């Protein structure tokens, strides 16, 4: 990352960028929705493509001068279609929430009923939360998880039969187990509903065959590109050809104006990276690291929702130790670990406090962490939870975390960022 140009024009912003770079370099990143892009992805996002306005689809624009961005966007589409094995892809959504909004616009009218996972049980804001557009404009019913932290598909079917939703959403922002997309489609067919699979968190695992794919079951698939896919911040919608025209219209002009062609170029670079054989090795290591972290926490006497994980994330349940997610997340930040407070199923605390902390391994795996490193991370977290009042242990935890950061330098200390 070249900072000289920024520094010469706006030293105040350049200084803040440098401070953020230092924070990332000296922090163990366990926020499950974050990752680190390659230098190539980051560079693509900062190109002259940011100057081009390109309303419409490739080769059907409302502006002239789109010959080059047409080729770039088409390449991004073809790469993501190959990556997931789908017929059609729209790479213009600015985010996962925007992608979901476009699907809603295409298949629903205000007041129609949707069935999605409850936010407090692991769902996402855009799956029907009352504070989100999805909960404001549609009639929402929700499903959750059972006492063991798993989706009860018979219960989902019962709710669907009783409520007859027009759209069912399969997917989550905090569910550590395999999602049975085939079972969801059976339920959708039984009540005549469309099925939307939101794979924002597990996209890399789906793309590499390490999690069952919704392709062939879901009518619509949405994902972000900045989580396990290691791309820039953005979204994608995938579907069969029969829905392509409607989805494209729902994106533009339905929910967005001109696409961000510099970000689409960065998406194309990320999709190209994900198509390489070594990306599957990365995705498998993400899972291995998450499993190791979960087991280390359990071995140290802590509770993990559902007793473990099948993917890249897990949730530490703090009810037994009498601490809140808010407090523990703040304590972890003091020892150079970032994570986010998160509700646990049937959480007695408010969403602003919570009884859990969500932990993800995509970013640290990008950095180079292995199972042995995750054991150390698990020990640090356990010490912070159990011995936060012991200054000696707390300071030792800081040193352990910083030692791991030094072991795996995220980017070089100078102007250039190391390619991941």
Q: Which of 230, 233, 341, 358 is catalytic?
A: 233
Q: How far apart are the first and last CA of the chain?
A: 13
- Is 224 among the residues known to form the active site? yes
The structure tokens listed for 177 are: 């187990």
CA distance readout (Å), 60 to 13, 33, 76, 242: 38, 34, 16, 19
411 is catalytic: no
Q: CA-CA distance, 120 to 174, in Å (whole number)?
A: 9
Residue of 113, 177, 227, 323 with catalytic role:
227
Find, among 247, 185, 241, 242, the residue nearest to 222 by Cα. Answer: 247
Q: Is 158 a catalytic residue?
A: no
Q: Are 230 and 363 in contact (CB under 8 A)?
A: no
User: Which of these is catalytic: 18, 55, 240, 303?
Assistant: 55
Residues 408 and 364: their CA atoms lie apart, in Å, by 9
Catalytic residue among 222, 224, 228, 296: 224
114 CB-contact burial (10 Å; exposed 0-12 / middle 13-18 / buried 19+): buried
Active-site annotation holder among 53, 150, 153, 387 = 53
**Chain CA centroid to CA 224, Å:** 6
Q: What is the DSSP string of 305-361?
A: GGGS-SSSEEEEE-GGGT--HHHHHHHHHHTTEE-EEE--TT-SS-TTT-SEEEEE-
227 in catalytic set: yes
Query: Active site residue: 73, 118, 198, 248, which one?
Result: 198
Q: Assess whether 59 carries a catalytic annotation.
A: no
Q: Which of 132, 209, 144, 134 is nearest to 175 (CA)?
A: 144
Active site residue 109: no
Residues with a catalytic annotation lie at 53, 55, 198, 224, 227, 233
């Amino acid at each position: 990352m070249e900072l000289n140009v920024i520094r010469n024009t706006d030293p105040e912003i350049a200084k803040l960028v440098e401070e953020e770079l230092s924070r990332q370099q000296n922090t163990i990143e366990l926020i499950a929705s974050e990752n680190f892009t390659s230098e190539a992805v980051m560079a693509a996002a900062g190109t002259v493509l940011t100057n081009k306005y390109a309303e419409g689809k490739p080769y059907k624009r409302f502006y002239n001068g789109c010959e080059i961005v047409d080729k770039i966007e088409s390449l991004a589409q073809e790469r993501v279609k190959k990556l997931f094995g789908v017929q059609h892809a729209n790479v213009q959504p600015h985010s996962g929430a925007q992608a979901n909004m476009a699907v809603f616009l295409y298949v629903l009218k205000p007041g129609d009923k949707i069935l999605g996972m409850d936010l407090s049980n692991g769902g996402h804001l855009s799956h029907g939360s009352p504070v989100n557009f999805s909960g404001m404009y549609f009639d929402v019913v929700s499903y959750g998880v059972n006492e063991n932290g798993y989706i009860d598909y018979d219960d989902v079917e019962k709710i669907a039969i009783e409520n007859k939703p027009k759209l069912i959403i399969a997917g989550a922002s905090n569910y550590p187990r395999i999602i049975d997309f085939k079972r969801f489609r059976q339920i959708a067919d039984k009540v005549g509903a469309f099925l939307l699979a939101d794979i924002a968190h597990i996209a890399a695992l789906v793309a590499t065959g390490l999690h069952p794919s919704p392709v062939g079951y879901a009518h619509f698939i949405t994902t972000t590109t900045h989580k396990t896919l290691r791309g820039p911040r953005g979204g994608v919608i995938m579907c069969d050809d029969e829905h392509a025209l409607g989805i494209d219209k729902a994106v533009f002009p339905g929910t967005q104006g001109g696409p961000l062609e510099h970000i689409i170029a960065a998406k194309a670079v990320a999709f190209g990276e994900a198509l390489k054989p070594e990306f599957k090795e990365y995705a498998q290591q993400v899972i291995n690291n998450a499993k190791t972290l979960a087991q280390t926490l359990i071995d140290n006497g802590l509770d993990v929702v559902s007793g473990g994980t099948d993917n890249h994330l897990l949730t530490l349940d703090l009810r037994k130790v009498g601490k809140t997610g808010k407090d523990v997340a703040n304590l972890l930040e003091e020892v150079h670990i970032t994570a986010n407070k998160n509700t646990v199923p049937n959480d007695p605390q408010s969403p602003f406090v919570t009884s859990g902390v969500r932990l993800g391994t995509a970013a640290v795996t990008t950095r180079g962490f292995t199972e042995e490193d995750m054991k150390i991370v698990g020990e640090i977290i356990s010490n912070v939870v159990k011995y936060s009042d012991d200054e000696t242990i707390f300071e030792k935890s800081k040193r352990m975390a910083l030692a791991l950061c030094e072991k795996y330098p995220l980017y070089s200390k100078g102007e250039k960022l190391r390619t991941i």
